[in-house]
A and B are shown apart, each in its own frame.
Chain A
Amino acid sequence: MGLLSLAIWVPIFFGVALLALGRHLSAQQVRWLALLGSLVGLAVTLPLYTGFEIGAAGFQFVEKVLWIERFNIYYHLGVDGISLWLILLTAFTTVIAVVASWESITERVHQYMAAFLILSGAMIGVFSAQDALLFFLFFEATLIPMYLIIGIWGGPNRIYAAYKFFLYTLLGSLLMLLALIYLFNASGGSFNLQDWYQLPLTSTEQTLLFLAFLAAFAVKVPMWPVHTWLPDVHVEAPTAGSAVLAAIMLKLGAYGFLRFSLPITPDASQDLAWLMIALSLIAVIYVGLVALVQQDMKKLVAYSSVAHMGFVTLGFFLFNELALAGAIVQMIAHGFVSAAMFLCIGVLYDRMHSREIADYGGVINPMPKFAAFALLFTMANAGMPGTAGFVGEWMVILGAVQANFWIGLGAATALILGAAYSLLMFKRVYLGAVANDNVKALLDINAREYGVLAVLALAVLFMGIFPKPFTDVMMPAVTELLLHISVSKLP
Chain B
Amino acid sequence: MIDHLSWIAIAPQLLLLVMVCVIAIYDLFLKSPQRHATHYLTLLTLAGAAFLTGSAALSGQTFSGFGGLVVSDPMGNWLKCFAALTMMVLLVYARPYAGARGMLRGGELYTLGLFALLGMYVMISGHNLLIIYLGLELLALSSFALVALRRDDLRATEAAMKYFVLGALASGFLLYGMSLIYGATGTLDIRTLAQTIDAGVAQPQVLMLGLVFLVAGLAFKLGAVPFHMWVPDVYHGAPTAVTLFIGSAPKLAAFAIVMRLLVEAMPTLAFDWQQMLAVLAVLSLLVGNLAAVAQTNLKRMLAFSAIAQVGFLLLAFVAGVGADGSTANMSTAYSAAMFYIVTYVLTTLAVFGVILLLSREGFESEEIDDLAGLNQRSPLYAGVMAAGMFSLAGVPPLVGFYAKLTVLQALLAAGDGVYLWLAVFAVLMSLVGAFYYLRVVKVMYFDVPTQTAAISAPFELRAVLSVNGLMLLVLGLFPGALLALCAQAIASLLV
Q: Is A170 in contact with B434, judged by CB distance below 8 angstroms? A: yes
Bound state CA distance, A108 and B445, in angstroms?
11
Known pairs A70-B487, A151-B446, A174-B431; A137 contacts B479 (CB<8 A): no
A90-98, A158-166, A249-257, A374-382: which lies at the interface: A158-166
A-B contacts, 10 listed (Cβ < 8 Å) = A19-B379, A69-B483, A140-B396, A151-B446, A158-B446, A166-B434, A166-B438, A170-B395, A175-B424, A175-B427
Check B405 for interface membership: any CB of A closer than 8 A: yes
A179-187, A349-357, A361-369, A455-463: which lies at the interface: A179-187
Bound state CA distance, A182 and B424, in angstroms?
12
Query: What residues of chain B lie closer than 8 Å to A166, measured between beta carbons?
Result: 434, 438
Q: Is A71 in contact with B397, judged by CB distance below 8 angstroms? A: no
Query: What residues of chain B lie closer than 8 Å to A184, measured between beta carbons?
Result: 409
Q: Is B405 in contact with A181, judged by CB distance below 8 angstroms? A: yes
Q: Is B480 in contact with A70, judged by CB distance below 8 angstroms? A: yes
Interface of chain B: mostly helix, strand, loop or mixed: helix
Q: Is B379 in contact with A111, judged by CB distance below 8 angstroms? A: yes
Cβ-neighbour of B427 out of A147, A159, A162, A177 (below 8 A): A177
Query: What residues of chain A lie closer than 8 Å to B446, measured between beta carbons?
Result: 151-152, 158-159, 162
Smallest CB–CB gap between B223 and chain A, Å?
A: 24
Query: What residues of chain A lie closer than 8 Å to B427, measured between beta carbons?
Result: 174-175, 177-178
Query: What residues of chain A lie closer than 8 Å to B26, measured between beta carbons?
Result: none
Check A67 for interface membership: any CB of B closer than 8 A: yes
Smallest CB–CB gap between B214 and chain A, Å?
A: 31
Measured CB to CB, the nearest residue on chain B to A154 is B446
Check A23 for interface membership: any CB of B closer than 8 A: yes
Check A46 for interface membership: any CB of B closer than 8 A: no
Cβ-neighbour of B442 out of A23, A140, A151 (below 8 A): A151
Check A144 for interface membership: any CB of B closer than 8 A: yes
Known pairs A178-B412, A178-B427; A70 contacts B484 (CB<8 A): yes
Q: Is A68 in contact with B479, judged by CB distance below 8 angstroms? A: yes
Produce 1/0 per residue, A409-450, CB < 8 A to B. Answer: 000000000000000000000000000000000000000000
Cβ-neighbour of A140 out of B395, B423, B431, B479 (below 8 A): B395
Can you name 12 extra interface pairs (CB under 8 A) apart from A68-B478, A108-B375, A181-B405? A70-B479, A70-B487, A71-B405, A137-B397, A137-B401, A143-B395, A144-B390, A147-B438, A170-B431, A178-B420, A181-B409, A185-B413
Known pairs A162-B442, A178-B423, A181-B405; A167 contacts B435 (CB<8 A): yes
Check A39 for interface membership: any CB of B closer than 8 A: no
Count B-side interface residues using an 8 Å CB cutoff.
Answer: 34
Check A136 for interface membership: any CB of B closer than 8 A: yes
Query: What residues of chain B lie closer than 8 Å to A159, measured between beta carbons?
Result: 442, 446
Across the A-B interface, give the 4 residue pairs with the lowest CB-CB distance, nearest first.
A70-B483, A174-B427, A137-B396, A68-B480
Bound state CA distance, A144 and B445, in angstroms?
12
Cβ-neighbour of B409 out of A19, A147, A167, A185 (below 8 A): A185
Q: Is B480 in contact with A181, judged by CB distance below 8 angstroms? A: no
Bound state CA distance, A177 and B411, in angstroms?
13
The CB with the most chain B CB atoms within 10 A, among A136, A137, A184, is that of A137
Cβ-neighbour of A69 out of B420, B428, B484 (below 8 A): B484
Q: Is B445 in contact with A148, judged by CB distance below 8 angstroms? A: yes
Check B408 for interface membership: any CB of A closer than 8 A: yes
Check A54 for interface membership: any CB of B closer than 8 A: no
Bound state CA distance, A299 and B392, in angstroms?
34
Q: Is B408 in contact with A181, judged by CB distance below 8 angstroms? A: yes
Query: What residues of chain B lie closer than 8 Å to A174, measured between beta carbons?
Result: 427-428, 430-431
Check A347 for interface membership: any CB of B closer than 8 A: no
Check A278 for interface membership: any CB of B closer than 8 A: no
Bound state CA distance, A246 and B420, in angstroms?
35
Known pairs A70-B480, A178-B423; A171 contacts B409 (CB<8 A): no
Bound state CA distance, A111 and B484, in angstroms?
36
Bound state CA distance, A174 and B433, in angstroms?
12
Q: Is A181 in contact with B412, judged by CB distance below 8 angstroms? A: yes
Smallest CB–CB gap between B458 and chain A, Å?
A: 22
Known pairs A70-B480, A167-B435, A170-B431; A151 contacts B409 (CB<8 A): no
Produce 1/0 per residue, A135-155, CB < 8 A to B. Answer: 011001101100110011000
Produce 1/0 per residue, B418-458, CB < 8 A to A. Answer: 00100110011011001100100110011000000000000
Measured CB to CB, the nearest residue on chain A to B393 is A170
Query: What residues of chain A lie closer than 8 Å to B424, measured between beta carbons?
Result: 175, 178
Smallest CB–CB gap between B490 and chain A, Å?
A: 12
Smallest CB–CB gap between B433 and chain A, Å?
A: 10
Q: Is B484 in contact with A178, judged by CB distance below 8 angstroms? A: no
Query: What residues of chain B lie closer than 8 Å to A108, measured between beta carbons?
Result: 375-376
Q: Is B412 in contact with A151, judged by CB distance below 8 angstroms? A: no
Known pairs A174-B431, A184-B409; A152 contacts B445 (CB<8 A): yes
Query: What residues of chain B lie closer than 8 Å to A68, measured between beta carbons?
Result: 478-480, 483
Bound state CA distance, A158 and B447, in angstroms?
11
Produce 1/0 per residue, A110-143, CB < 8 A to B. Answer: 0100000000000000000000000011001101
Query: What residues of chain A lie closer than 8 Å to B409, measured between beta carbons?
Result: 71, 181, 184-185
Bound state CA distance, A348 and B396, in angstroms?
37
Smallest CB–CB gap between B402 and chain A, Å?
A: 8
Measured CB to CB, the nearest residue on chain A to B446 is A151
Bound state CA distance, A11 and B253, in angstroms?
43
Q: Is A69 in contact with B423, judged by CB distance below 8 angstroms? A: no
Known pairs A23-B379, A182-B412; A144 contacts B423 (CB<8 A): no
Bound state CA distance, A19 and B382, in angstroms?
13
Q: Is B484 in contact with A144, judged by CB distance below 8 angstroms? A: no
Bound state CA distance, A68 and B478, in angstroms?
7
Produce 1/0 per residue, B384-415, CB < 8 A to A. Answer: 00000010000111000100011011001100
Produce 1/0 per residue, A68-79, CB < 8 A to B. Answer: 111100000000
Bound state CA distance, A152 and B386, in angstroms?
14
Q: Is B412 in contact with A167, judged by CB distance below 8 angstroms? A: no
Bound state CA distance, A424 and B8, in angstroms?
84
Bound state CA distance, A148 and B409, in angstroms?
30
Bound state CA distance, A244 and B435, in angstroms?
24
Query: What residues of chain B lie closer than 8 Å to A147, measured between beta carbons?
Result: 438, 441
Smallest CB–CB gap between A69 and chain B, Å?
A: 5
Query: What residues of chain A lie closer than 8 Å to B435, measured between beta carbons?
Result: 163, 167
Measured CB to CB, the nearest residue on chain B to A73 is B480
Smallest CB–CB gap between B11 and chain A, Å?
A: 31
Query: What residues of chain B lie closer than 8 Å to A182, measured between beta carbons?
Result: 412
Bound state CA distance, A419 and B379, in angstroms?
47
Bound state CA distance, A174 and B438, in angstroms?
16
Q: Is B405 in contact with A177, judged by CB distance below 8 angstroms? A: yes
Bound state CA distance, A178 and B420, in angstroms?
9
Produce 1/0 per residue, B363-384, CB < 8 A to A. Answer: 0000000000001100100000
Query: What residues of chain B lie closer than 8 Å to A140, measured between beta carbons?
Result: 395-396, 401
Q: Is B445 in contact with A151, judged by CB distance below 8 angstroms? A: yes
Bound state CA distance, A170 and B404, in angstroms?
14
Produce 1/0 per residue, A256-292, CB < 8 A to B. Answer: 0000000000000000000000000000000000000
Smallest CB–CB gap between A37 and chain B, Å?
A: 19
Smallest CB–CB gap between A449 and chain B, Å?
A: 28
Bound state CA distance, A70 and B406, in angstroms?
10
Query: What residues of chain A lie closer than 8 Å to B478, measured between beta carbons?
Result: 68
The CB with the most chain B CB atoms within 10 A, among A19, A147, A158, is that of A147
Bound state CA distance, A436 and B106, in angstroms?
75
Measured CB to CB, the nearest residue on chain B to A148 is B445
Bound state CA distance, A163 and B406, in angstroms?
27
Measured CB to CB, the nearest residue on chain B to A208 is B420
Smallest CB–CB gap between A83 and chain B, Å?
A: 20
Query: What residues of chain A lie closer than 8 Å to B406, measured between beta carbons?
Result: 70
Measured CB to CB, the nearest residue on chain A to B480 is A68
Q: Is B396 in contact with A69, judged by CB distance below 8 angstroms? A: no
Smallest CB–CB gap between B21 and chain A, Å?
A: 42
Query: What residues of chain B lie closer than 8 Å to A148, measured between beta carbons?
Result: 445
Bound state CA distance, A436 and B418, in angstroms?
65
Smallest CB–CB gap between B444 and chain A, Å?
A: 10
Measured CB to CB, the nearest residue on chain A to B335 is A70
Bound state CA distance, A158 and B445, in angstroms?
12
Query: What residues of chain A lie closer than 8 Å to B428, measured between beta carbons?
Result: 171, 174
